[in-house]
Amino acid sequence: MAKCTAVKRLAISVGVLLAVALLLDPRAIIREVQAFSLPWLVLGLAISVLQVLLCAWRWRLTAGLVGVPLRYCYAVAEYYLSLFINQVLPGGVLGDAGRALRHAQQTSKRGNAWRAVIIERASGQLAVGLLTALALVSSPLWHAVLGKSGYFWLAAGAVSVALGVGLIAVVMPERVHLQGWVSALWADIHRGLWHGGVWAWQLASSMLIVFSYALVMLCAARAIGVDLPASVLLALAPPLLLSMLIPLSVAGWGLREGAAASVWAWVGLAPSQGVAVSLAYGVIVLVATLPGLWVALSRRRRATPAGSGCIGPVQTEVKQGVIPTAETPRTRAQGRGQGVDWRHGKAGAARSNQQWRDEQVQSLNHTGFDELRDGYPPAFDQYARVTPRLQVGDDRRR
């Protein structure tokens, strides 16, 4: 079923792109690329970096408020990985599901980890809708195009969508027996979005992130030589971003280009120019997510989100014969060999002592260092623990 859905979304992206190409003539789209400006491309990529850093900060803030704290470096790496997966796989949410799953595996509050990602993504999508509404209301370009009747129908459509979403939120949980999960979600929304003055930080960060999307689109337009005023491009960008939220394509490809052609034609501009800007924007976004590929190849999933320090190879300490590990079924056997005092052996029992020592070292190697090699996360938790020492005398060895 999942494979069939992915194929359908890929087919939608390809189909819409082909339809746009056939309707507008690919040569007209290519002619809109009048130049290629490397400085604008670099500026767009730099804005994308700041964008990811701010997204990771918002996720870390939300996760901490709902009781599943993250290290910032971990959040940045995971966010890059999720963005890259969202760009190359259909649906646009598989990357976010992956980072929620990996975070949930590192904490006992797995539901909170999932809900932190849901809340963080939902706040960003609401910000896209809010910025679109602000652009439509404040831009003279849209005032001239829509008129009073246009604003009336847009308002009616927005109210209908809001009522539909509210109805689904009320009815669906009762039918699929998710009342408990929805109650927990509402409690986490209160803690993560509305508690105290955190709503201001959430709103400000989400609006800055969405505005950075529009700035990247402005850089994409300038990079290919489009000389429309910045105010016009920033007013046209939010509807394109809104179209990318529809989970029916691969990273918004196809739907974004179709929306660009429609919006540009609606305001009296060349549709081919809008498609060219949209394609350039898509390329910049894809290139900006390539660090996520490096994260995947470097197996960053071995790092744990909680604790101190940045992501990287986990630092383990072997001190006084004790290897600190979590108490798990796989590592419980380590306790037998931790902190063993070897000073009480005699020469007469050297052979039996050596055999017993080899068994203890083998136990440590098989249960401890194999854990480190296989990336078993609980073995990396650095909790304070007291390990009893075994005093082994001559009479016991005999």
> Quick check: 364 pLDDT over 50?
no
Per-residue pLDDT tens digits for 193-224: 777 778 889 899 999 999 999 999 999 999 99
Phi, psi of 341 (to 5 degrees): -90, 115
Average pLDDT, the chain: 75
Give residue 184's pLDDT.
80
Instruction: Please report how the helices 72-88 and 271-288 are oriented relative to each other, as an axis angle in degrees rounded to 10.
Output: 140
Give residue 329's pLDDT.
45
Per-residue pLDDT tens digits for 239-294: 999 888 887 778 888 889 999 999 999 998 999 999 999 999 999 999 999 999 98
Torsional sign, CA 293, 299, 304, 310? negative
> Tokens representing 208?
């800055």
Per-residue pLDDT tens digits for 144-154: 888 788 778 88
Residue-by-residue DSSP string for 142-200: HHHHHHHHHHHHHHHHHHHHHHHHHHHHHHHHHHTT-HHHHHHHHHHHIIIIISTTHHH
Give residue 363's pLDDT.
46
> Hey, where are the domains in the chain?
2-302, 332-397
